[in-house]
């Protein structure tokens, strides 16, 4: 997976937060870049050295993509999100969706569920299911694994530690470790039992081609995945209620 150039422009109403982010991404900050706001951090405030009751939030546009009381997960998630835009991910399928991981492996679910993490994530966590802090699902069609890459950006690790120490910490909430996780299934919204042909057709609409791959290559890769990985339908319900069928899928593996 090639690591390309990443140039980051910073804008903030908080001088302290701007300098902290500048320290973490010092090798990539470019003061000449006038990029529109895309990712935004909002850190919970509170008395230092006390357990925080607030959440630290990472937004992409107006959508919350990471919500945690652990400042280290938030800064590491920010690194992973930005790192994902500097890669070409050769050999992997980049699926518009969200990956969930437990001890059995990983499940791909619709991207829309990310908007409902405030209602769902805690319920998933207490059953041993973690959310991957990436903007898409990375799937290896050969091994049928979901990949969580090690970030390749030039990051100041000491600045990451200082960031975590500076902001209020509540419950420890580590991110999903980099690695490869067997793909347990692929879920779509719908009714009934989806056919594998349906999964390929739906997958083609939400999957970016690997660099250098043709449309036929991508379709063949999707077919290879769903030939071995079971597609599932999720019936739309209240977000909190959707955790039950997701947990059943992951615990049945």
| Range of weakest confidence among 109-113, 198-202, 208-212 | 208-212
pLDDT at residue 36, rounded to an integer? 66
pTM of the complete model: 0.87
| Range of weakest confidence among 16-20, 60-64, 171-175 | 16-20
177 Ramachandran zone, left/alpha/beta (phi>0; psi -120 to 50): beta
- DSSP for residue 153: S
Rounded percentage of the chain residues whose pLDDT exceeds 90: 47
pLDDT-derived band at 2, boundaries 50, 70, 90: very low
The answer to whether 139 touches 85, Cβ cutoff 8 Å, is no
Q: What distance in Å separates the CA atoms of residue 103 and residue 84, rounded to the nearest whole number?
A: 24
Span 63-83, mean pLDDT? 91
pLDDT at residue 5, rounded to an integer? 64
pLDDT at residue 49, rounded to an integer? 47
Burial class for 165, CB neighbours closer than 10 Å (0-12, 13-18, 19+): exposed
pLDDT-derived band at 8, boundaries 50, 70, 90: low
Is the predicted pLDDT of residue 191 greater than 70, yes or no? yes
Q: Higher confidence at residue 3 or residue 202?
A: 202
């Amino acid at each position: 997976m090639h690591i390309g150039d990443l140039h980051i422009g910073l804008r903030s109403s908080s001088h302290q937060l701007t300098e902290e982010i500048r320290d973490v991404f010092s090798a990539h900050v470019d003061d000449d870049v006038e990029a529109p706001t895309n990712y935004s951090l909002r850190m919970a405030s509170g008395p230092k050295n006390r357990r925080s009751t607030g959440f630290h939030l990472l937004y992409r546009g107006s959508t919350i993509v990471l919500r945690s009381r652990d400042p280290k997960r938030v800064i590491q998630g920010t690194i992973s999100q930005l790192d994902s835009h500097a890669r070409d991910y050769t050999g992997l399928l980049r699926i518009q969706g969200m990956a969930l991981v437990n001890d059995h492996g990983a499940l791909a679910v619709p991207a829309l569920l990310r908007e409902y993490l405030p209602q769902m994530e805690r319920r998933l966590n207490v059953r041993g299911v973690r959310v991957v802090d990436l903007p898409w699902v990375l799937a290896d069609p050969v091994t049928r694994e979901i990949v969580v890459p090690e970030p390749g950006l030039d990051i100041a690790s000491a600045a990451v530690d200082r960031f975590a120490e500076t902001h209020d910490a509540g419950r420890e909430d580590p991110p999903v470790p980099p690695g490869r996780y067997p793909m347990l299934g692929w879920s779509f919204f719908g009714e009934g039992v989806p056919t594998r042909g349906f999964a390929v057709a739906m997958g083609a609409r939400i999957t970016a081609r690997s660099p250098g791959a043709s449309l036929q290559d991508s379709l063949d890769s999707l077919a290879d995945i769903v030939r071995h990985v079971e597609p599932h339908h999720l019936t739309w319900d209240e977000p909190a209620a959707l955790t039950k069928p997701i947990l059943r899928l992951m615990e049945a593996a």
